[in-house]
Amino acid sequence: MQANAFHKMLLLLPLAFYQSTNGMEWNYLKNGKDWEDLCSTGKHQSPILLDTKTAHKLVSPPITFWNYYKLLKRPFYIRNNGHSISLDIPVTSNGRKPFITGGRLKGRYFADGLHFHWGSYKSPGSEHWINKRRYDAEIHIVHRNEKYKNIAEAVRHKDGLAVVAIMVSIVRKDNAKSTPLSKLMEAVVRVPIENSNATLFGQSSLDQLIGGVKHKDFFTYEGSLTTPLCDETVSWIVFTEITTVTISSVSKFWLLRDHWGNRLINNYRIVQGLNDRTVFYRTARSSKS
Instruction: Please give the positions annotated as active site.
Output: 83
User: How many residues touch Zn ion (CB under 5 A)?
Assistant: 1
Nearer to Zn ion, 140 or 215 (CB): 140
- Is residue 215 a contact residue for Zn ion (CB under 5 A)? no
State residue 84 phi and psi, 5-degree precision: -165, 180
d(Cα 128, Cα 156) in Å, to the nearest integer? 23
Nearer to Zn ion, 169 or 283 (CB): 169
Range in contact with Zn ion (rule: CB under 5 A) among 99-107, 137-145, 250-258, 276-284: 137-145
Instruction: Report the relative pairing of strands 243-245 and 109-118 from DSSP bridges.
Output: unpaired
Positive or negative: CA dihedral 227, 210, 195, 112: negative
User: Counting beta carbons within 10 angstroms of the beta carbon of residue 38, is it exposed (0 to 12), middle (13 to 18) or buried (19 or more)?
Assistant: middle
Q: To the nearest whole angstrom, how small is the minimum distance from the Cβ of residue 238 to Zn ion?
A: 12
Report the candidate in 161, 162, 285, 164 with the shortest Cα–Cα distance to residue 217: 285
Nearer to Zn ion, 92 or 250 (CB): 250
Nearer to Zn ion, 92 or 137 (CB): 137
State residue 46 phi and psi, 5-degree precision: -130, 160
Q: To the nearest whole angstrom, how small is the minimum distance from the Cβ of residue 115 to Zn ion?
A: 5
Among 79, 128, 140, 269, binds Zn ion (CB under 5 A): 140
DSSP string of 149-187, one letter each residue: SSHHHHTTSTTSEEEEEEEEEE---GGGTTSHHHHHHHG
Q: To the nearest whole angstrom, how small is the minimum distance from the Cβ of residue 27 to Zn ion?
A: 15
Range in contact with Zn ion (rule: CB under 5 A) among 85-93, 132-140, 178-186, 246-254: 132-140
Range in contact with Zn ion (rule: CB under 5 A) among 2-10, 19-27, 139-147, 240-248: 139-147
